[in-house]
Chain A
């Protein structure tokens, strides 16, 4: 029966999947397997009458691997591989979960498993992160540029205001001997407090 036309080899890796909680493979598990295959076949239109006894297992090894075929007693032949393949593929999840296994640990050689579809979010995550960071950066650039412009405007206004008052003082201060008195009084020069207090001490008449 191995390598027969419509036979499939199945391989289980129970120890790999379950570790300590691994169950032993015995005839009861084989019975469950036959039931699952029969169940899958019954889901196919035209094959609703498949019974557990129609599923035959053979060459069970210690690996846990074996061959199985599904027969049709009325016509006395084995069901075509294509039908079995599509039936198993449709119910793969149910079969896997009956044995606590997955596609890698319960292998049907020659039956490729349908891989999980990728979850495509409407907007890729990287774009969200990128937009957040880019917006922060743009805001920071704007702030720095505007604060720089304001600083420069304040600096250019500041000395010009001082200049205005200077001009006014200059216009009012008389020039004695060609030297304006203003620099001697306010800028750079110190006013001698002694003289100030003396003036105040003199009582006005």
Chain B
């Protein structure tokens, strides 16, 4: 085993010793927040991990990378990458009893940059993520009517037909791109603020404020609903979905294994990235949540349980999603086929009922032979079930276009729509709790905020500030900005931070010390699996994924999909290259968090070198012990 540990003087002074931990826990009981019960903690962690990605990213990856065969890389990487990293974050938070900035600066003052980078990433992701929740709320508000507003195209000015843009694409596309986003044709064309989106954004940030106003005191209550409701809704949808025609087509399509995909490195890369992002690692929120636990909480078991729940949810959600997609594809196929049948019947004035799906081909031949000229004039659509099933369905496209269309075809559509969007809302909100924690606690740890400011004020200011900045997403080009941030803010920096975290714990803190800590906390030393994973397997995997990811991202052209009614192939999205200044935005958004880590280390080194001549040691922040006259509680 590698016994490499970097020299780390003064570590003992910065962290509480094992013996002190229990007394500290007792003393902090009134001043530091803590969980009311274990269930709250587990639900909060599960809520943070299980998010929109489980519903709209995993099913797409699963289906496009060989269906059932994708489970193999996914499960392997879950065990080798997800669980060890999760256990590491839980254990280090529980041991050092601080948020992310506090933890890393305790390990070594130069590593404070890791905590700051986590804070930046949490902030960036929370910034755009809540806008998705605002869109979900908009659809939710619009679900309380029958017929649903996206089921029909609106009429044009003289009421002879439907609006042109809608007639050429579809009513769900129109509702999403025009009536919700009112999207412009390029990211440079900002347009104006769409007031209805702004109202929904206000609502989304207010709800988030209510739930996080006092930190885990309030989120701990909110998670009872936000973390459990999605599972209830998924089960309802599963039962409903399985009774729909064509649902089994979808599930079969999803899980049909294509083992040749395993040889494709992109499959493994996507699996690794999905495991990593799905676990919300490196945001700092999990470290923070874990630090509110009691010292002897069994973090190993927690990590395994949360991972298993996360993996299971991904597969469960994929099943539900694809049963509904199968239903939609079958409906579309039937519609397409019936249109063809109608074309043939009308063209040749055949009696109704003579042409069915079964004898369509022979009837075509018969008609062709009887009147080839007339037959040649008829135009038939191509109906291919597989193409309907594999229409690229991920991200917002899945939720707001494909699924909403499927819902309009189900009886009692408003009910399903309400349930679906409540589920998305809960999934998104519970992830936002973790993001907020990852921003609020580091700000407190960095002592930027005066200590006597109440937590309500701090949370309020953060919510208000981010809300004002999020006005960008209410512009006509808002969705393009969001996709940009989604692609770059929450991807590369997280991989870098996670790698630094592993390195810091294993080689700067020392994995032997870490093992002793865990033995003290949970009663037994971590077994050989954890040792191998922390020292070798996980860092190596992180590095490989990071390098591959970097290479792929750097090589790909910066293009984005644009909704342009003037495009020849409308309603297909047009791929347009980003304007030049977007590169600068990408560099800032992805580069700043990554550069903060070495940047802060260098700054610290320089400061120490300048202070060395004076030979002054910074005041060690120790905890005050009891006074003679009894406890002077603050």
- Stretch from B196-204, B551-559, B600-608 at the A interface: B196-204
Question: Of A11, A65, A130, which is within 8 A of B200 by CB?
Answer: A130
A125 touches B456 (CB 8 A): no
A15 to B629: give the CA distance in the assembly, Å: 95
B12 proximal to A (CB < 8 A): no
Chain A contact residues: helix, strand, loop or mixed: helix
Contacts of B454 in A (CB 8 A): 148, 152
Count of A-B residue pairs with CB < 8 Å: 87
Closest CB pairs A-B (n = 5)? A61-B349, A126-B141, A62-B351, A15-B352, A63-B349
A144 touches B456 (CB 8 A): yes
CB distance from B370 to the nearest CB of A (A): 14
CB distance from A77 to the nearest CB of B (A): 28
Write the B126-159 contact mask toward A (1 if CB under 8 angstroms, else 0). Answer: 0000000000011011101100000000110001
B233 proximal to A (CB < 8 A): no
Contacts of B218 in A (CB 8 A): 144
A145 proximal to B (CB < 8 A): yes
A61 to B346: give the CA distance in the assembly, Å: 10
CB distance from B325 to the nearest CB of A (A): 26
Give chain B interface residues in 582-634, CB to chain A under 8 Å: 628-630, 633
B210 touches A125 (CB 8 A): no
A98 proximal to B (CB < 8 A): no
CB distance from A141 to the nearest CB of B (A): 5
Contacts of A127 in B (CB 8 A): 141
B456 touches A130 (CB 8 A): no
B213 proximal to A (CB < 8 A): yes
A144 to B353: give the CA distance in the assembly, Å: 66
A183 proximal to B (CB < 8 A): yes
A114 touches B456 (CB 8 A): no
Number of B interface residues at 8 Å Cβ cutoff, please give it: 38
Give chain B interface residues in 345-394, CB to chain A under 8 Å: 345-346, 349-353
A45 proximal to B (CB < 8 A): no
Contacts of A125 in B (CB 8 A): 141-142, 144-145
Contacts of A183 in B (CB 8 A): 628-630
A180 to B154: give the CA distance in the assembly, Å: 86
Q: A interface vs B, CB < 8 Å?
A: 11, 13-16, 61-65, 112, 114-115, 117-118, 125-127, 129-130, 133-134, 137-138, 140-141, 144-145, 148, 152, 159, 183, 187-188
Residue of B nearest to A141 (CB): B210
B142 touches A63 (CB 8 A): no
B203 touches A137 (CB 8 A): yes
A130 touches B141 (CB 8 A): yes
Give chain B interface residues in 166-216, CB to chain A under 8 Å: 196, 199-200, 202-203, 206-207, 209-210, 213-214
Residue of A nearest to B206 (CB): A137
A37 to B104: give the CA distance in the assembly, Å: 86
A112 touches B160 (CB 8 A): yes
A198 to B159: give the CA distance in the assembly, Å: 104
Contacts of A65 in B (CB 8 A): 346, 349
B155 touches A117 (CB 8 A): yes
A130 to B345: give the CA distance in the assembly, Å: 48
CB distance from A173 to the nearest CB of B (A): 13
A16 to B214: give the CA distance in the assembly, Å: 61
Question: Of A14, A62, A115, A188, which is within 8 A of B349 by CB?
Answer: A62
B161 proximal to A (CB < 8 A): yes
A16 to B141: give the CA distance in the assembly, Å: 36
A2 to B443: give the CA distance in the assembly, Å: 81
A127 to B138: give the CA distance in the assembly, Å: 10
Contacts of A159 in B (CB 8 A): 633
For the A-B complex with A65-B346, A115-B155 known, give 13 more contacts whose Cβ atoms are closer than 8 Å: A62-B349, A64-B351, A64-B352, A112-B160, A112-B161, A114-B159, A118-B154, A125-B145, A126-B144, A130-B203, A137-B203, A137-B206, A141-B210
A13 touches B160 (CB 8 A): no
B629 touches A115 (CB 8 A): no
A187 touches B350 (CB 8 A): no
Contacts of B456 in A (CB 8 A): 144-145, 148
A187 to B213: give the CA distance in the assembly, Å: 37
A133 touches B154 (CB 8 A): no
CB distance from B40 to the nearest CB of A (A): 18
A140 to B141: give the CA distance in the assembly, Å: 20
A141 touches B206 (CB 8 A): yes
A62 touches B154 (CB 8 A): no
Contacts of B161 in A (CB 8 A): 112, 115
CB distance from B253 to the nearest CB of A (A): 30
Residue of B nearest to A109 (CB): B346
A133 touches B203 (CB 8 A): yes
Contacts of A148 in B (CB 8 A): 213-214, 454, 456
A188 to B629: give the CA distance in the assembly, Å: 7
B160 touches A141 (CB 8 A): no
CB distance from B215 to the nearest CB of A (A): 12
B202 touches A134 (CB 8 A): yes
Contacts of B155 in A (CB 8 A): 115, 117-118
Given contacts A62-B349, A117-B155, A148-B214, contact A141 B142 (CB under 8 A): no
CB distance from B220 to the nearest CB of A (A): 14
Residue of A nearest to B153 (CB): A115
A117 to B154: give the CA distance in the assembly, Å: 9
